Structure 1
Amino acid sequence: MTSHDHSLLTASELAILYGSYANDTVSICMLSYFLEHVEDPDIKASVEYGLELSNMHIAIDKDIFAQEGLPVPLGFTEQDVNVQAPRLYSDEFILHYVQNIGIMGINAYSMALPKMSRKDLRDHFTQCLQSSAELFNRTTDISVEKGTYVRPPTIPYPQQIEFVHNQNFLGGWIGEQRPLTSTEISLLFMNLYRNSLGNALLTGFSQIAQKKKVRKFMARGAEIARHHSDVFGKFLDESHVSAPVSGDFTVMTTAEPIFSDKLLMYHTNALQNAGIAFYGESIASSQRKDLITAYSRLIVEAGEYSVDGTNIMIDNGWLEKPPSAPDRRELTKG
């Protein structure tokens, strides 16, 4: 190896490694439980593939930690899941959940890769990106074949190229608006779909959480997801765009603990933070003022919810501190 290969990890590389490790340990717990209950053999194969990828990622991460002399994060272990607990979600929900792992991985790793300096990490996260795309493609193929794929809306093809010549294209904050563009439709639909999935996930979490405060937090999250879905659906409906989010996201009635409250809180907050990032992307790609205002308002609501979740984690000693800069003021105290 050259001296460059031995360069210390940058703050960006540390942040991404530690975050990826925690997320993969959550995936291992979730997918291990799903594997015990999924009945459809095709969906089971996708769960097995997702679990295989997460275990592979963890093994590589641990090697890097060892090479650098870094402590391995605790993350989440078999102590955070009871795989023998009763079934909580339908096979179709499980398929959509695994598909969403692929989607989240594509987004996370594509953002992580440009922040990597060292070749070994670039190689690792390039493979993570490719495997996430493969997971998404496999689950999407299965969903299409089984007729459970939630297809985005269609609009008529344009007949000619047009240019915008009037500021009315930007619309106002209230009142009559122009029809949605294809980009705006795409973003509204994906945010509607993710919130519909999140509503089902958190409804299940609210049933199995052990602490009362955690149960209330999960129920509140499910209500927020329903509210956000309604907002996105209303925008689509006003432009007479069909939003066929009709997946069978069935949640069973079990209330037996399955995942630790610590895992439930971390998973929920991670999804909220990812959702805020998606809303930020939506603001950047939307041109109607009313859409930008709506996304901005929903970001604030999601952000407040995420802060409340972080406070619950801190109060219970569940929040692992990420690698941080030294506190120079503390070090200079006599």
Structure 2
Amino acid sequence: MWRTYMREEKNVRLTSSEISVVWSSFQNNSFSICILKYFLANVDDPDIKSVVQFALDISVQNLNFSKEILQNDNQPLPIGFTDEDVNPTVQRLFSDSFYLYYLKNMSKVGLSVYGVALAIAAHADVRQYLSQAIQTSTQLYNKTAEVLLNKGLFVRPPYITTPNHVDFVDNKSYLGGVLNINNRPLNVIEITHIEANVETNALGKTLMVGLAQVAKSKNVRNYCLRGKEIAGKHVQVFAKMLTEDDLPSPMPWDLEVTDSTVSPFSDKLIMFHSSLIIASSISNYATASAASLRTDIATSYVRLSAEVAQFAKDGVDIMIKNAWLEQPPQIPDHKGLAK
């Protein structure tokens, strides 16, 4: 079936956007395969192991599809990540529950990234690939959610009491102010984004704790420790928004990090992993800021985004210094060639 689509537009070149989508997918899935091979090698719970295996199969399939699309367009294949970047045989670093929360977040990111990418794709091969990736990401989320629910680990947003009538905003005071004085209660849209950012930052903090524990380079260790501190601070900021309105702040639990100090990952992979988390956070904050009508909340997202952006820049500097940052395809330097 896939090859039928591959033949459909064999003479149609990929656009710059399509090259970007497929090139990034190659990078991300080669990375995911390394992570998931390690998870699969030391997971104990058979239900969780089944979901990890499913996620690994998806990543392998997506990598093969993106590789074939790039080759058919005569594009050089990225290096990405290989077996040299992972050692699945070392002692486990995280708990089985962490794997579940990680896969839940992985599926959410996949749905978002592939959905946006599909909307800019024209090539039949790319559209078919992205459509299939959205479908398998949906399946991964549902499988992960079912296991989380069955084990009592699913973190639900808070329940609230809502009015029994429809109302409209008729006063600018609804927007509040940046000083957080006499602001109105949170609405359900704002609660949704705040709770999601509590959960993702709690997961990110645990991940950074583990990676800092095993990173070989002092610079990478210190970078991960800084990431842990930032994520922990952001959890507190978002949790306070909820508790100030007498709402609980749901948190993932059993996010255990073992005492292992032997790294299953290369420092290059650890830094790439950090960059993916940062990119996801900036995207989440931008979406949440646009959806939040209370000025103080939107302003907090902007402030926190600036902190994350600086953290991202410092990470890029480390990757460049160590020749770990693979350059995306770009147009020729026509000005330089003219000289």
Give the TM interval when normalised to the shorter protein.
Answer: over 0.9
Structure 1 equivalent of residue 325 of structure 2: 319
| Count of matched residue pairs | 333
Q: Deviations over 1:16-55 (max 9, x none)?
A: 1111111111110111000011100000000000000000
Rounded to whole Å, the distance in 2 between the matches of 1:285 and 1:257 is: 40
Rounded to whole Å, the distance in 2 between the matches of 1:8 and 1:243 is: 49
Q: Alignment partner for residue 275 of structure 1, among 278, 281, 297?
A: 281
Superposition pairs of residues 150-299 of structure 1, within 5 angstroms: 150-174=155-179, 175-299=181-305
Specify every segment of 5 or more residues in structure 1 that has no aligned partner in the other structure, as ranges: none
Alpha-carbon deviation of 1:3?
Answer: 9.2
Structure 2 equivalent of residue 80 of structure 1: 85
Contact residue 209 and residue 257 of structure 1 kept, 8 A: yes
Structure 1 equivalent of residue 95 of structure 2: 90
Q: Deviations over 1:87-138 (max 9, x none)?
A: 1000000111111111110111111100101111101100000100110000
Alpha-carbon deviation of 1:202?
Answer: 0.7
Indicate the SS of the match to 2:119.
helix
Specify every segment of 5 or more residues in structure 2 that has no aligned partner in the other structure, as ranges: 1-5
Rounded to whole Å, the distance in 1 between the matches of 2:47 and 2:7 is: 46
- CA-based RMSD of the aligned residues comes to 1.2
Rounded to whole Å, the distance in 2 between the matches of 1:2 and 1:27 is: 28
Structure 1 equivalent of residue 3 of structure 2: none
> Which TM-score applies when normalising by structure 1?
0.98
Q: Partner amino acid for 1:96?
A: Y
Rounded to whole Å, the distance in 1 between the matches of 2:305 and 2:332 is: 31
Q: Alignment partner for residue 103 of structure 1, among 84, 96, 108?
A: 108
Rounded to whole Å, the distance in 2 between the matches of 1:283 and 1:257 is: 37
Alpha-carbon deviation of 1:2?
Answer: 9.3
Contact residue 93 and residue 250 of structure 1 kept, 8 A: yes
Rounded to whole Å, the distance in 2 between the matches of 1:12 and 1:166 is: 43
Contact residue 5 and residue 119 of structure 1 kept, 8 A: no
Superposition pairs of residues 111-130 of structure 1, within 5 angstroms: 111-130=116-135
Superposition pairs of residues 36-75 of structure 1, within 5 angstroms: 36-75=41-80
> Which TM-score applies when normalising by structure 2?
0.96
Rounded to whole Å, the distance in 1 between the matches of 2:332 and 2:86 is: 34
Q: Deviations over 1:175-222 (max 9, x none)?
A: 221100000000000011000000000110001100000000000001
Q: Partner amino acid for 1:39?
A: D
Structure 1 equivalent of residue 154 of structure 2: 149
Q: Partner amino acid for 2:70?
A: F
Structure 2 equivalent of residue 305 of structure 1: 311
Rounded to whole Å, the distance in 2 between the matches of 1:60 and 1:17 is: 9
Rounded to whole Å, the distance in 1 between the matches of 2:42 and 2:69 is: 34
Q: Partner amino acid for 2:260?
A: T
Q: Partner amino acid for 2:280?
A: A
Q: Partner amino acid for 2:90?
A: A
Rounded to whole Å, the distance in 1 between the matches of 2:259 and 2:156 is: 28
Rounded to whole Å, the distance in 1 between the matches of 2:33 and 2:308 is: 26
Rounded to whole Å, the distance in 2 between the matches of 1:71 and 1:328 is: 20
Q: 1:217 to 1:41 in 2, by over 3 A?
A: same
Alpha-carbon deviation of 1:157?
Answer: 3.3
Rounded to whole Å, the distance in 2 between the matches of 1:234 and 1:148 is: 23
Using the TM superposition, name which of 177-186 and 11-20 deviates more: 11-20
Rounded to whole Å, the distance in 2 between the matches of 1:2 and 1:237 is: 56
Indicate the SS of the match to 1:180.
coil
Alpha-carbon deviation of 1:262?
Answer: 0.2
Indicate the SS of the match to 1:240.
coil
Q: 1:228 to 1:4 in 2, by over 3 A?
A: same
Alpha-carbon deviation of 1:4?
Answer: 6.0
